[in-house]
Amino acid sequence: MAHPKEERTYVMIKPDGVRKGLTGEVIRRFEQRDLKIVALEMFQPTRQQISDHYPKDEAWIRRLGQKSITTYQTYHVDPKEKLGTDDELEIGKMVREWLVDYMISAPLVRMIVQGIHAVDVVRKIAGPTLPYKAEVGTIRGDFSIDSPLLANTEKRAVANILHASETPEEAAHEIEHWFGKSAQIHSYKRYGVDE
């Protein structure tokens, strides 16, 4: 790639994003920021594919559980009463299952986005993980108000419209996972950006 910070990142529009009709809006916001879509497809994932997409190590699962416990503590709700346990690993496993259920509940849109600092810029455009905390102007802040308290009360994962890789290493791994080793990545020059 021409520029040292020209990167590729992996983005997936989640079931709520597809079902809210936000596919075009998400792509528009990336393109508006001079990022390029270089691969794009709608598909129905399998449970196994989604399970393999999210980390399986205990530390990640504990982190997921801990985040839910912190939310419950903030709102003075007893996790034991709501979920039957206050063990972070047990809760983490539960949330991971909800996450898989959510991610296979409708087709997804997968894409590779390329551009300067693409990994960070895409995360910025998406906004932080929890929609109720996301700033207005971000995708999550403009189109969702979901929160872990609401989601976990309904025994489901937080619906936050899209997934975007967090680091260039994660992006490379996810591009390979979702598009295969010989991904068909397209090359073209954007008017006013590449020339």
Query: Any idea which residues carry the catalytic annotation?
Result: 163
Residue 14 Ramachandran class (φ > 0 left, ψ -120 to 50 alpha, else beta): beta
For 148, the token pair is 């872990």
CB of 185 to ligand ADP, least distance (A): 23
- CA-closest candidate to residue 89, choices 52, 58, 67, 56: 58
Q: Does 147 bind ligand ADP (CB under 6 A)?
A: no
CB of 67 to ligand ADP, least distance (A): 4
Residue 163: HSE in the Cβ half-sphere, 13 Å Cα cutoff: 22
- CA-closest candidate to residue 58, choices 35, 25, 84, 87: 87
Report the residue number, 11 or 151, with the smaller CB distance to ligand ADP: 151
Per DSSP, the three-state class of 170 is helix
- Selected range binding ligand ADP among 36-44, 131-139, 151-159, 179-187, rule: CB under 6 A: 151-159
Residues 161-180 that bind ligand ADP (CB under 6 A): 163, 166
Question: Would you give the DSSP letter of residue 43?
Answer: E
Provide DSSP, 15-42: HHHHHTT-HHHHHHHHHHTT-EEEEEEE
CB of 126 to ligand ADP, least distance (A): 8
Which x/- pattern over 97-136 shows residues binding ligand ADP (rule: CB under 6 A)?
--x-----------------------------x-------
Enumerate residues 6+ apart whose C-beta is below 8 A from 61. 55, 89, 92, 93, 96
CB of 77 to ligand ADP, least distance (A): 13
- CA-closest candidate to residue 54, choices 115, 107, 103: 103
Q: Does 144 bind ligand ADP (CB under 6 A)?
A: no
Report the residue number, 156 or 194, with the smaller CB distance to ligand ADP: 156
Number of residues that bind ligand ADP (CB under 6 A): 15
Residues 34-73 that bind ligand ADP (CB under 6 A): 64, 67-68, 71
Residues binding ligand ADP (CB under 6 A): 64, 67-68, 71, 95, 99, 129, 148, 151-152, 157-158, 160, 163, 166
